[in-house]
Structure 1
Amino acid sequence: MKRDLTRERIVEAAYDLLNREGREALSTRAVCAASGVQSPTIYRLFGDKRGLLDAVACHGFEAYLAGKTALAETDDPVDDLRRGWDLHVEFGTSNPALYSLIYGDARPGVESPAAERASAVLAKQVKRIAEAGRLRVSEERAAHLIHAAGCGMVFTLISLPPQDRDPDLSTLARESVIAAVTTEPSTTPAKTDAVTAAVTLRSVAPTVTALTDNERALLSDWLNRIATTTDPAHHEQR
């Protein structure tokens, strides 16, 4: 219990420093002074400074994740994605230091725990679009594109003085990305291209009980090859 309380005190002190003075203020010495502990305590509880920064990011990210996961799902998963995008951009522009801490230090093959949790929420949103038959690229490609565009938009906006930020810029980027990865809903039967069909079936293939495990694995492999193929005919239909 004492260990947990000490850890919480250190994280909250570091988070306050981050908000008041920016990431540059998060030196081990400054955090120790603000929390009333010695540096060995920080290394014992967090392993290293990176571990402390990840803990601070998770602490500050809780409110964002709570808001994002609390968004009620509607019958339109694409519109749900729009709302998720807007919430992400609002969070980043309202918390620039925290956002930079979470996304501004890319490590190949490694995501901070906070970013990893956010990625899981995005993946779920994209999967719902695929299951609805409205995803024109693979789930992985769609998620990467949405993430890259969203992060780029936030960093662009926070680099500008508030009075110089174009209020329509985020909307334009959001709709461009959505147009690139989704199809329009259809109320009448229409010809479906191979990529969209493969993406849709791939999203539900693991639940197909009529096949054996080996057959499902083979089907998923085939569908993945189709879903990740750049088909010129597919793009012409856009």
Structure 2
Amino acid sequence: MDTRTRILEVTARLLADSPVGDVSTQAVCEAARVDAADLYRHFGDKAGLLAAVVDHGFKEYLERKRSFVLSDDPVRDLVAGWDGHVTFALERPHLYRLMYSSAITTASVAAVETYRLLTSRLERCAAVGRLRVSPHVAAQRVMAANVGVALMLITRPGTFTDPGLSHAIRDAVYGEILLPEDAAEPAGEAIGPTAARLGELLRRHPPPSLSPAETALLQQWLTALSDDSGH
């Protein structure tokens, strides 16, 4: 293991063991058996170290997500994704709080990939006609709610004591963006999921009869139709 990786893993471990969710650079250097010059050479300062730990945490989270074996039911996989997100937060509360801290203003590549992975799961739902809104809008709603619930559970455990809270919020959010499997939408409301599904099919299989500009414009219209119908 190289020095940089050792420092990152030691910092993550110290964060996990810290009662206040913070570490000193001196403690990191002692535990990693490096001097301050090594730490500053790799990370610049404590802020740079913590930003790197955040990126390290997102990569660990992504490894879990990528190892998940998808089923033939995209909605079931979406439900499992929400629950897995909360589980990760409860297992690594200090790291998770740092990952979604307002002090970290620049999204890492791994954080962007996390959002893209969620969007891809929602695109699968759109492809089978289960999504009321576009995958992009759905991803924003799911991510905001999922992170919000996880943060409340780990930062305010004395207040948010309901063991069914996460599932209740999950089901409420998914009820807003997803159609029931055998739902018969009223004619006036069917345009939303239909537009979302067509938009996903268009993304996967752009028709050769349309130019890239025409395809992009059609995709823009379909996204607007799906999102308007989902409000």
Whole-angstrom CA distance in 2 between matches of 1:79 and 1:33: 45
Q: Deviations over 1:10-40 (max 9, x none)?
A: 1122112111115653333332333233334
CA contact (8 A) 1:102 1:112 kept: no
Q: Pick closer, same or farther for the CA change 1:111–1:60 going to 2, 3 Å.
A: closer
Structure 2 residue 92 is matched with structure 1 residue 92: no
CA RMSD of aligned residues (A): 2.7
Match of 2:123 among 93, 117, 127: 127
Task: Tell me, yes or no, if structure 1 residue 81 matches structure 2 residue 78.
Answer: yes
What amino acid is aligned across from residue 228 of structure 1 in structure 2? D
TM-score (normalised: structure 2): 0.85
Cα pair distance change 1:77/1:103, threshold 3 Å: same
Which is worse superposed, 201-210 or 146-155? 201-210
> CA offset at residue 193 of structure 1?
1.9
| C-alpha deviation, 1:186, in angstroms | 3.1
Structure number with greater CO (CA < 8 Å, separation at least 6) is: 2
Counterparts of 2:2 and 2:82, CA distance in 1: 35
Matched with 2:224 is 225
Describe the SS at the equivalent of 2:213.
Answer: helix
Percent of matched pairs sharing the same residue:
37
Q: Post-superposition shift, 1:57?
A: 2.8
What is the aligned partner in structure 1 of residue 134 from structure 2? 138
Relative distance call for 1:187 and 1:97 in structure 2 (3 A) is closer
Structure 1 distance, partners of 2:12, 2:153, is 22
**CA separation of 1:107/1:197 partners in 2, compared to 1, >3 Å: closer, same or farther?**
farther
1:71 aligns with 2:68: yes
Larger displacement relative to structure 2 (46-55 or 148-157) = 46-55
After the TM superposition, which segments of 4 or more aligned residues of structure 1 sit over 6 Å from their partners?
A: 187-190
Shift of 1:179: 0.3
Deviation, 1:51, is 3.3
**Kept after mapping to 2: 8 A contact 1:153/1:170:** yes
Between the two proteins, the alignment pairs up a number of residues equal to 228
Flag the 1:202–1:164 CA change in 2: closer, same or farther, 3 A: closer
| d(CA) in 2 for partners of 1:187, 1:199 | 16
Report the more deviating stretch, 183-192 or 167-176.
183-192
